[in-house]
Amino acid sequence: MKTILIIMGRYLPGYKDGGPVRSIKNLVDRLGKEYNFRILTTDRDHGDDKPYQGIEVRKWNTVGAARVYYVEPGGFDESTVERLASESELVYMCGCFNDYARTTLKLKRQGRIKCRVVIAAMGLFSPGAFRIKYPKKKAYMVLLKRAGYFKNVEWSASSEEEAADIRREVGKDAVCHLAEDLPRKVEEAKLAESSPEGKLRIIFLSRISKKKNLAYAAGLLKDLQGQVVFDIYGNKEDASYWKECEDRLNKLPENISWNYKGEAPAEEVIHIFSQYDVFLFPTLAENYGHVILEAMSGGCIPVISDKTPWTVEKLGRSGNVVELEEAADFQKILQRYVDMGEAELREKREHCFLFSKKYLQEEAKKAENSYRSIFEKETDED
């Protein structure tokens, strides 16, 4: 059984990083019987000052179908990365803007990592994401390219568009493999009653950061007619940005009630979505958008920006994809759901659930084969 070393910033039991953690968990859940997955990661969740309870640091811990090696913050030293890589047939690294990436790329460039290194781009190079802190990111990429750190590494992209983004920043000869993120295994959800005509329950569930665009979402609600509940779930990753969001939320009229509900544990996400009618997500950029599929799995209708890989057709016409700049279009769609009768709204929510169930079953098989093709490739490509 081939050993795959996955290097990433955070993993279970953490959940605050959202998509990357879910991506790797889904990969392990689906292919853990075929590959020996080992994960090198930090010993605490995003923003926490204490390690997870019940783990052993710098020892192997069994987490689901994977073995996880937790290190303290800053603990991705060269000797640890080199040793664990030497025990593996492939290193699969999540992202490249962090300390473990610099260490891994340096070791590969020096020939101290002999096996293949594949970098999962995780949407980092999409225009919306790369634009955030652009000068710093661009300078970082220039330095790594000049140092030859991207020589003899490969990339995992979730789409042709992401592969183009990678080549734009890394170089036109970058070796890219296509493998769409694996969805989680199908879960059954019991949908709560739909809102009656003139009322609507809207949810925002994601990290609270500029990229996820909560402040913009709040601004979309101000002119809605009817009784609207807007509940927010997510880690307050950026305190100054949360203050900006609060300022907008507090200016909403009385017919729009908003609540911050805290962070959503991963195992409860589907159930939480099942309690709402609409998922509002005008994100600036998504590599895959696990949360969109999770919303549909909970029978919650996605109203999302056009800055994700999801189109109306790919959603099975179960939701709405709106050009980010067209705030009026977002508002028209939301008002239509407010004005919708309970029976029709229920039908649309059930359609979301049924579509997601079928999609999960069909697309997972294709994605599994894509990852197998990455893992089974034998040699580097220059």
Confidence of residue 185 (pLDDT cuts 50, 70, 90): low
User: What is the rounded average pLDDT for all residues in the chain?
Assistant: 92
Confidence of residue 382 (pLDDT cuts 50, 70, 90): very low
- What pLDDT is stored for residue 186 in this prediction? 58
Pick the range with the lowest mean pLDDT from 99-103, 245-249, 363-367: 363-367
- What pLDDT is stored for residue 187 in this prediction? 61
Sheet of strand 227-233: strand arrangement: 256-260, 227-233, 199-205, 278-281, 301-305, 320-322
Q: Which residue has the higher pLDDT, 138 or 37?
A: 37
Task: Give pLDDT tens digits for 250-278.
Answer: 999 999 999 999 999 877 899 999 999 99
Residue 45 has pLDDT above 80, yes or no: yes
Fold equal for 3-178 and 199-360? yes
- What pLDDT is stored for residue 252 in this prediction? 97
* Homologous superfamily of domain range 3-178: Glycogen Phosphorylase B; (3.40.50.2000)
Residue 136 has pLDDT above 60, yes or no: yes
CA distance 380 to 382: 6
CA distance 115 to 153: 10
C-alpha to C-alpha distances, 197 to 204, 220, 317, nearest whole angstrom: 21, 20, 22
CA distance 21 to 23: 5
- What pLDDT is stored for residue 194 in this prediction? 94
Residue 107 has pLDDT above 50, yes or no: yes
Q: What is the pTM of this model?
A: 0.66
Q: Which residue has the higher pLDDT, 101 or 158?
A: 101
Per cent of the chain over pLDDT 90 is: 70
Overall fold of domain 199-360? Rossmann fold (3.40.50)
Residue 85 has pLDDT above 80, yes or no: yes
Task: Give pLDDT tens digits for 143-154.
Answer: 988 989 999 999
How far the first Cα of the chain sits from its last, in Å, is 26
Residue 167 has pLDDT above 80, yes or no: yes
> Would you list the domain boundaries of the chain?
3-178, 199-360
CA distance 277 to 300: 5
